[in-house]
Structure 1
Amino acid sequence: MRYIISREQFLAGVKEFIILSIFARRLVFIRHFIKLASINVISNLMVPLAGLIDVIFLGHLTEIRHLAGVALATILFNYIYWTFGFLRMGTTGMVAQAIGRKDNQSAVLIGLQHGILALILGITILVFQQPLQILGFAILSATPEVKSSGVDFYNALIWGAPATLVNFVLIGWFLGQAQSSKVLLLSVISNSTNVLLDYLFIVQWGWSSRGAGLATAASQYLMLIVGILLYCQTISFKQIQALIGELFDLSALKLALILNGEIILRTFALISTMAMFSNLSSMLGTEILAANTLLMQVVSLAAYFIDGLAFATESLAGIFQGSRNISSLKQLLQISVVSSLFIGLMFATAFICAPESLLRLLTNHPEIINNLRSYIPWLLPVLGFGSVAYALDGYFLGLTQGHILRQSMLKATLIGFIPSAITAWYFHNSHLLWLSMSLFMAARTITLALCVPKTLTIKQE
């Protein structure tokens, strides 16, 4: 006997099949995102952990000036290095879009062009290291003892500049191809070497801040050697030969320079904000500087953790953009924002609920711990808004929408941060300083979120 179904039953079955198909595709997409993001998280987390161990080693020395000096010098290095952060960020988005278009030759060309540029910039930094040191420490405010420790750190770390900048390109190139496992390998090598050398130089040999700088510089060169070997395994010598004539092609370089220029301005505004925060902390006293530095290490640790998701977002957004897959962009954005927000709030809650045990991992100075207790609640707004901002940063970097990122960061700095920071300086109040950081993160989130609908309805060029 033949079973006959009604039209309504047939349509219901088709509807159920479509829903199950959509759910299955979304499940596959989520699984792919989590796999890529988890590798990025592990890789990215190693960077602040190595920095955190720096802080722990220095924070347990008899004189706290070494920790404060490294914090001061780090402001200068943030300017020097992260002004050239476009070497990583621009490379990832451009390579990912080339992969999405199935244009492997362009992906290789982008890596080579940015690598040459990074090497030139790194050597230039070495040539001008002395003027940069004199100018930088003349602007920064601290006691002579703190500055002395900062100069020792600077003089050691500066020699890693060429390796650091080329490593930016290598990481960006591998991320653009969604080869996170190679980025993880490079992070393991670099950061484990950094930790081992930290222990040797700081604890065993007593080189304090100078030892911390030497450890980081040496680990960057080891990372560079391994990264070049991995890069050479990915491409052939014939590919490089075929692209030599295009390395200095002005039309190709023009697009890269426009994007990179936007990212430079964006990064400069970000680093300036962080520098103002640290410098104003210094003006409030060495203990406040040390306390705020340690709490910002917590923020940085969470940020690097969340940035693992942002890097996955950046890679996939570029690939989807290159293949003009708008529906996947929408899914990616939803998953990225929700997961980033969850991690940010979870991280803040952990420190708010168990401050004593976690803070003692950072320092054994009771006066610093007492200062930190009152500022810990500020982690909630800073990481809450910040986590969404990091996710949106990755999204727009993947789309290579540098102008949106630049405008957002400038507005966040000028409108969100500076007015409250000036008020904090005037009233000599560190809580107002943390309020300014919270408003900065909120402004970043709002300005970026307002630009999202346009990217999901209009195909980017």
Structure 2
Amino acid sequence: MRQPLFTLQPPTFLRQFLKLTAINILSNVMVPIAGLLSVAFLGHLSDIRYLAGVALATVVFNYLYWTFGFLRMSTTGMTAQAIGRGDEEEALLIGLRHGILALLLGVAIVILQMPLRQIGFAMLSATTEVATAGEAFYNTLIWGAPATLINFVIIGWLLGRSQSDRVLILAAVNSGANVALDYWFIVRLDWASAGAGLATALSQYLMLLVGLVMLIQEVQPKQMRVNTQQLWDASALTTVWVLNRDILIRTFALISTFAVFTNLGSAFGTVPLTANALLMQVVTLAAYFIDGIAFATESLAGLFWGQGNVRQLKQLVLIAGGLSLCIGVLFAIAVVSYPDPLFGRLTSHIQVLHYLKQYVVWLLPVLGFGSLAYMFDGYFLGLTEGRILRQATLQAVLLGFMPSAIVAWYGHNNHWLWLALTLFMAVRALALGWRWLHHHYKTEATEAD
């Protein structure tokens, strides 16, 4: 007999979910706060080109780092499922396989930094001064690539084990060091965008050092020697490859959407580029709050899936979805209602502040639909359903974003550009929601048989 979709009885995991969510939000929010402070340091320099240059260069790093976000995502889902099955050995092997892959990819990025820079900046539109400032940021930040990618794996592995408290410590180390070094390099030493990149790179290495200490405490050397013999199991490597391939395509499509959004804004002029960058800082800040829920959803979804607990999976989505939507909408309402307290602290350029106020209302639909999309991302990542995530994101790009973005380009209209981003979030949320309903009832029917 099919169970009702909605029930009034509180789930047994609610306390664990709320605890994970709270810790994840605390650890996540430290990252954008550090980024906002960096933006504020740059935004109050006499020349706006440094802030615009960092915004432009960030697009390049979104490709480099977010593209390899599968290292964190697949590690979390696979580890959580292994823990759900009670397989500690496999959980350790998952972390080792992804850690080695992260190291190889990070070293490759450093070696290929010059052609990557040339390709990345050739795809973007900016004045010579803005591009020069962006390249200065790139040239220092790129050296942090190995540490950044390995940190992805460490965070993913800890999240998969529901050890969000340790992730919080790592986030505090990274963000605290980043803010302190930003102040020293940008304000005190006047290194501008180059200082911002160096501060971020050094903070990543400090975070890696602390993370490795945590792992040494968690894993015994004897376990490492035994498990390394099974690292190259063919079936396990195939599973890793297929999942990471799908997540890579999904993430690349996601990043490309934001990159096109930023690049079109850049083509509209320096002021639109900077204003859109500041508004996207708000989207990013809200996303870190919402991702706290998504990460908790990811950890518990993988755990429940490993245990074969379909009922709790359903309850998890309903609770996480409602909480995500509330946070996203309330966050947008607060910023739309009182834009000056936030944006006035990020930049002192009046023309930018005046311009962005015309577009701040777009935060409401973007964060409303986006909050549901992020939550469903966490759910399907926990189930390691990379194919579903890939298809939903490609549909959102082709059916949601591109048509409106083309109109924005030809009409030179920033409102159409924000409509494109809204439609991207909406199609993504609806596609994933539909797949969840289909997946839920299909799994429930299988369990009943």
Q: Could you state the TM-score of these two structures normalised by the residue count of structure 2? A: 0.96
Q: Indicate which of 220, 244, 266 corresponds to 1:260.
A: 244
Matched to 2:60, the amino acid is L
Cα deviation per residue 1:126-155 (whole Å; 9 max; x = unaligned)? 110011111111111100000000000000
Q: Does 1:221 align with 2:205?
A: yes
Is 1:306 matched up with 2:290? yes
Q: 1:289 matched to which residue of 2?
A: 273
C-alpha distance in 1 between matches for 2:81 and 2:237: 16
The aligned residue for residue 18 of structure 1 is none
What secondary structure is seen at the aligned counterpart in 2 of 1:361?
helix
Give the drift of 1:24: 7.2
**1:39-93 CA distances to partner (integer Å, 9 max, x unpaired)?**
0000001111111111111111100000010011100001011111100000000
Distance 1:422 1:453 in 2: 32
- Count residues with an aligned counterpart: 439
Moved more, 311-320 or 135-144: 135-144
Residue in structure 2 matched with residue 331 of structure 1 by the alignment:
315
Structure 1 residues 190-205: aligned runs within 5 Å: 190-205=174-189
Q: Supply the distance in 1 between the matched residues of 2:380 and 2:48 (Cα, whole angstroms).
A: 40
**CA distances 1:360-398 after superposition (whole Å, capped 9, x unpaired):** 121111111101111011000000000010111100000
In the alignment, the residues of structure 2 paired with residue 187 and residue 52 of structure 1 have an alpha-carbon distance, to the nearest angstrom, of 15
Using the TM superposition, give the Cα deviation of residue 356 of structure 1 relative to its aligned residue in structure 2, in angstroms: 1.9
The one-letter code of the counterpart of 1:93 is G
Report how far residue 455 of structure 1 moved: 2.5
- d(CA) in 2 for partners of 1:114 and 1:303? 25
Structure 1 runs (4+) greater than 4 angstroms displaced: 22-25
| Counterpart check, 1:159 vs 2:143 | yes
SS in 2 for 1:450: helix
1:320 corresponds to which of 304, 308, 319: 304
Report the counterpart of residue 442 of structure 1 in structure 2. Answer: 426
SS in 1 for 2:190: coil
Partners of 1:232 and 1:146 lie apart in 2 by: 44
CA distance in 2, matches of 1:141, 1:24: 54
Any gaps of 5 or more consecutive residues in structure 2? 1-6
Measured after TM superposition, the shift of residue 235 of structure 1 is 1.2
Q: Cα deviations across residues 250-285 of structure 1 (Å, max 9, x unaligned)?
A: 211100110000000000000000000000000000
Counterpart selection for 1:146 from 118, 127, 130: 130
Partner Cα distance (2:122, 2:362) in 1: 31
> What is residue 51 of structure 1 aligned with on the other side?
35
* 1:231 and 2:215 matched: yes
Helix, strand or coil at the partner of 1:178 = coil
Using the TM superposition, give the Cα deviation of residue 173 of structure 1 relative to its aligned residue in structure 2, in angstroms: 0.1
- Alignment gaps of 5+ in structure 1: 1-21
Q: Secondary structure at the match of 2:108?
A: helix
Matches of 2:21 and 2:94, distance apart in 1: 24
CA distance in 2 between counterparts of 1:251 and 1:107 reads 15
Mapped pair 1:420 → 2:413: no
CA-CA distance at 1:457 after TM superposition:
3.1
Q: Which amino acid aligns with 1:191?
A: S
Q: Please give the residue correspondences for 1:286-435 in structure 2 after superposition, counting only pairs within 5 Å.
A: 286-435=270-419
Distance 1:247 1:210 in 2: 39
Residue 274 (structure 1) aligned to one of 258, 279, 282: 258
SS at match of 1:331: helix
Percentage of identical aligned residues: 58
* Whole-Å separation in 2 of the counterparts to 1:406 and 1:167: 24
Q: Which of 152, 158, 162 pairs up with 1:168?
A: 152
Q: CA deviation at 1:23?
A: 7.0
Residue 207 (1) aligns with residue 191 (2)? yes
In structure 1, C-alpha distance between the alignment counterparts of 2:349 and 2:268, rounded to whole Å: 18
Whichever residue aligns with residue 123 of structure 2, its letter is I
For 1:452 and 1:133, locate their aligned partners in 2 and report how far apart those are by CA, in whole Å: 39
Distance 1:421 1:25, change over 3 A: closer
- Aligned residue for 2:50? 66
SS at match of 2:345: coil
Q: Is 1:451 paired with 2:444?
A: no
Q: Give per-residue Cα distances to partners, 1:217-246, cap 9 Å, x unaligned.
A: 000000001101101111111111111111
- 1:82 pairs with one of 66, 72, 77: 66
CA–CA separation in structure 1 for the residues paired with 2:320 and 2:364 = 19
**2:131 equivalent to 1:133:** no
Inter-partner Cα distance in structure 2 for 1:178 and 1:338: 21
Report the CA distance shift for 1:407/1:24 in structure 2 as closer, same or farther (over 3 A).
Answer: closer
